[in-house]
Amino acid sequence: MKLIVTGANGQLGRDLVRTLGERHEVHGFGRQELDITSPEACRRVLEEIRPDVILHAAAYTAVDRAETEEEEAYRVNADGSRNLAVATERIGAKLCFISTDYVFDGGSSTPYREYDNTNPQGVYGKSKRAGEQLVQTLCSKYFIVRTSWVFGVHGANFVKTMLKLGPEKGTLKVVSDQIGSPTYTVDLCLFLEQLVATERYGIYHASNTGVCSWYEFASTIFEEAGLSVDVHPCTTEEFPRPAKRPPFSVMEHLAIRSNGLQDLRPWREALRDFLRELGTASP
């Protein structure tokens, strides 16, 4: 396959270029190389390379800052996705849009299915949902992949933060009333590679399997890393943030199973491999 990866300098994008580049012709574009908010730039790049698939991982992801930068969040997550969808349709390629658990309000007590009603609460989630809708409207061959709690070697994430703060402070408070599923970038990349080779278009939920709270996740990180850190559970109210987080963002992987695709492995197993990768990665 010939692929374009947008957001190629991001946490997921860098692993997509590295992992898929071993087996496919991959063209990675960061913000400097491809401004997705420009319809002309999107059209020019796609017509020049004529890829089979566009893996659209570029996004405005500053969840809290989005509350005061609404226009910028929509410009990237909605308008940028529209521009790519139009350019993709012109060349007859497939578009895979990476979305988020934030499109749900978190009020459910059972895992969200792919076609459950969305109800994003913050600007970030609303702008990503707008991107989903534009892709669905403007592109005939699309995959929308919602993921959650992503961690990888590149960029900032919860696992890296815990590994830094734990030894520094010795004692930490971590919220225990937000429930979800962690996702290792490498596992998500391998799933996306499997998915985009098919013509089973639609919406997918993809995270490592299993469920935990942020508190349980932190405790497991220290346990697996062999660190002695005193972790205490606390409530979301004790750590108020500008943007509301979904208290329950567990997603059912119904579409993966019904389409006969291979699901992602359990998150704790993925975490072990990530810690090993982190230990051998260059700074």
Cite the active site residues.
124
Hey, what are 218's tokens? 């932190």
- The CA R_g of the chain, rounded to the nearest whole Å, is 18
> For residue 101, which of 111, 91, 93, 92 has the smallest C-alpha distance?
111
Are the beta carbons of 174 and 214 closer than 8 angstroms? yes
CA 39 to chain centre: 24
Are the beta carbons of 222 and 170 closer than 8 angstroms? no
**Which residues share a beta bridge with 174?**
233
Neighbouring residues of 156: CB distance < 8 A, sequence distance ≥ 6: 11
Burial label, 156 (beta-carbon count in 10 A; 0-12, 13-18, 19+): exposed
Amino acid making up residue 267: W
Distance CA 41, CA 283 (A): 33
Question: For helices 158-169 and 267-280, what crossing angle results, to 10°?
Answer: 70
Are the beta carbons of 57 and 81 closer than 8 angstroms? no
Handedness of CA 32, 36, 37, 42 (dihedral sign): positive
**Which residues share a beta bridge with 251?**
112
Distance CA 1, CA 13 (A): 17
Q: Distance from first CA to last CA of the chain, Å, rounded?
A: 31
